[in-house]
Chains A and B, each alone.
Chain A
């Protein structure tokens, strides 16, 4: 079974600075998807970014980018120019590509505080 580990339960960053959230996972599969979801105080789960394992290029979405290291099974999220609105819980998630196994496996989450 796949597992996802977020080892840092909390982090803080100064507004306008850069922060990196770490995530590692364990799988025996070669093809899969990885996601970062954001959960603000409104509790809505919002997709931040996704990475397909067969793509070597790291995904980027505006101020958000990932460092995907497939061999190391590492998937970190970098937030540049942090904004107050980035304060939230962040969850790393894994999804298999095998038919019938498309459910998400989540890490335990990490609380990000952005200081003005």
Chain B
């Protein structure tokens, strides 16, 4: 089974709808991240969390919110989706100190019509 899972894998929604993307991990890592990937822009950080009580805004947090329900779960919400939030969304985890790399989930393709 995958260490970092994301649901759904693909989602099509309409402008103005609320949508939640979920991430779960079995790696036991404290740190979790949400990134957004757009063509030609690479991955940009939306939010990150170092533990259940520590949540921080990233580079592009406007229009998004997050919830860290447990060490293993980190959800990203779009309160009122808009078309320019159409993108590929990745969840990632890391351990610190220890492994320096981040481990990514399979991504969620979100389309907002």
Using CB atoms and an 8 Å cutoff, list the residues of chain A in contact with chain B: 4, 9, 33, 35, 42-45, 47, 50, 52, 91, 95, 100, 102-104, 106-109
Contacts and interface: CB of A to CB of B under 8 A. Distances in A.
B107 A108 contact: no
B88 A43 contact: yes
Contacts of A4: 42
Interface string B31-50: 10101000011111100101
Contact of B104 (A33, A45, A95): A45
A104 B102 contact: yes
Given A44-B107, A45-B90, 15 more contacts: A9-B40, A35-B101, A42-B106, A43-B107, A43-B109, A50-B100, A91-B43, A103-B48, A104-B33, A104-B45, A106-B43, A108-B40, A108-B41, A108-B42, A109-B42
B50 A100 contact: yes
Given A43-B88, A43-B107, A108-B40, A103 B45 contact: yes
B46 to A, nearest CB: 10
A103 B58 contact: yes
B31 A102 contact: yes
A47 B101 contact: yes
Interface in B48-82: 48, 50, 58
Chain B: interface size category: 20 to 34
B104 to A, nearest CB: 4
A45 B107 CA distance: 9
Contacts of A44: 104, 106-107
The secondary-structure label for the interface of chain B is strand
B25 interface: no
A106 B107 contact: no
A106 B58 CA distance: 13
A106 B44 contact: yes
Interface string B93-112: 01010001110101101000
Contacts of B58: 103
A100 B79 CA distance: 27
Nearest to B38: A108
19 contacts: A9-B40, A42-B106, A43-B106, A44-B104, A45-B43, A45-B104, A45-B107, A50-B100, A91-B43, A95-B100, A102-B96, A103-B33, A103-B48, A104-B33, A104-B35, A104-B92, A104-B102, A106-B43, A108-B40
